[in-house]
Amino acid sequence: MQQPTRNRRFFIQKAGLATFALASQNMIPMSKWENWTIQQIIDGIMGAIPGSRRNDTVDTFKSGNPRDICTGIVTTFLATAEVIKRTAELGANLIITHEPTYYNHLDETDWLEEDPVYQAKLSLIETHKIAIWRFHDYWHQHRPDGILQGFLELMNWTEYVDGEIDNICNIPEMTLQDLANTIKQKMDLHRPFLVGEPALICNRVGLLLGAGGGRMQIGMLSKEDMDVLVVGEVAEWETCEYIRDSNNLGMPKGLIVLGHAVSEEPGMAYLANWLTPRFKGLSINHVPATEPFRLV
């Protein structure tokens, strides 16, 4: 999930263009696509990410052989078994996922070796010879933040982004209830949650997609002037209760909880569009992991 960033828009745009112009000098010419390896695809992506390489990143290969020729790319929030099967159907052999494949942040598998679900998933991946590469830290490091940008474009909010803080938007005034309904309809959600007074007038909206945790969410609510915070997920005894106390103590705020997967999926759909002009001739598709929960 993205960190709050304080960068002026014009600076970000100029820096991003300059970075990509530099990076593209080291990328394979798009007109010469024939037999890119998976590693060459990843190197091309990384060439467009500003800043130095990280030593502590989770953005590593989780399966597959980077030396294999890439037959197609699928982007997704999470490489579920269903996404892996669809990738094989599309004839692709590279999944770029935002979140872990093996049920924990570091994709550690020693504790899963005897687990039948893990074994079946691993067999599925190996049968179809699919490489899975995680693109989490560096996609957030991109400017603009790739996950945030995908959400903004889906909501048609890019023109409302604050001049100082990228993940705050100054939208036309509406009630908290209407804002929640607008997001629900635009994103085709099943179960967004709302905390706060539904009639609260909202103009300044903070965005912390994914799962930033209570300290980050509450910290942003405390330090930044906003009417409502939109998040992916929460621990219910943290940010939710802060909002309830805030309202009870005469400092009205709103909270809209979208769900982790659906809040960051637009950013991975945006990635497919971002990749397409950079790797012309290669099949690139977004396959959503979809909302894991169902209404009873």
- Stretch 165-186: mean pLDDT: 96
Domain count, the chain: 2
Tell me the chain's radius of gyration from C-alpha atoms. 20
Residue 115 maps to a domain: yes
Residue 107 maps to a domain: yes
d(C-alpha 183, C-alpha 187), whole Å? 6
- Shared domain check, 218 and 137: no
Q: Is pLDDT at 16 greater than 70 in this prediction?
A: no
**What confidence tens digit (pLDDT) does each residue in 193-246 have?**
999 999 999 999 999 999 999 999 999 999 999 999 999 999 999 999 999 999
| Helix, strand, coil abundance in the chain, percent, nearest 5 | 40, 15, 45
- Shared domain check, 244 and 154: yes
The pLDDT confidence band at residue 35, using thresholds 50, 70 and 90, is: confident
- Shared domain check, 131 and 223: no
- Stretch 273-293: mean pLDDT: 95
148: tokens are 């945030």
User: Can you give the residue range of the structural domain that contains 242?
Assistant: 146-258
Residue 15 maps to a domain: no
- Shared domain check, 273 and 248: no
- Shared domain check, 155 and 97: no
The pLDDT confidence band at residue 33, using thresholds 50, 70 and 90, is: low
d(C-alpha 76, C-alpha 99), whole Å? 9
The pLDDT confidence band at residue 34, using thresholds 50, 70 and 90, is: low
More confident residue, 129 or 17: 129
- Cα-Cα-Cα-Cα dihedral sign, residues 167, 168, 173, 174: positive
Residue 187 maps to a domain: yes
d(C-alpha 134, C-alpha 61), whole Å? 7
- Asked if 214 and 234 count as a contact pair (C-beta separation under 8 A), the reply is yes
Residue 77: phi and psi, rounded to 5, are -65, -40
Residue 101: phi and psi, rounded to 5, are -95, -30
- Asked if 138 and 57 count as a contact pair (C-beta separation under 8 A), the reply is yes
Residue 66 maps to a domain: yes
- Stretch 61-80: mean pLDDT: 98
d(C-alpha 191, C-alpha 262), whole Å? 10
d(C-alpha 147, C-alpha 154), whole Å? 11
Whether the bond into 66 is cis, omega within 30 of 0: no
Residue 244 maps to a domain: yes
More confident residue, 27 or 291: 291
- Asked if 117 and 96 count as a contact pair (C-beta separation under 8 A), the reply is no
- Asked if 99 and 92 count as a contact pair (C-beta separation under 8 A), the reply is no
The pairing of beta strand 193-195 with beta strand 254-257: antiparallel
According to the model, what pLDDT value does residue 52 have? 78
Domain of residue 84, CATH code: 3.40.1390.30
d(C-alpha 18, C-alpha 50), whole Å? 10
155: tokens are 């909501």
- Shared domain check, 118 and 212: no
More confident residue, 19 or 43: 43
- Predicted TM-score (pTM) of the model is 0.88
- Shared domain check, 240 and 155: yes
69-97: b (≥16 Cβ within 10 Å) or e: ebbebbbbbbbbeebbebbbebebbbbbb
Residue 27 maps to a domain: no
Residue 1 maps to a domain: no
Q: What angle do CA 167, 171, 172 make, to 5 degrees?
A: 175
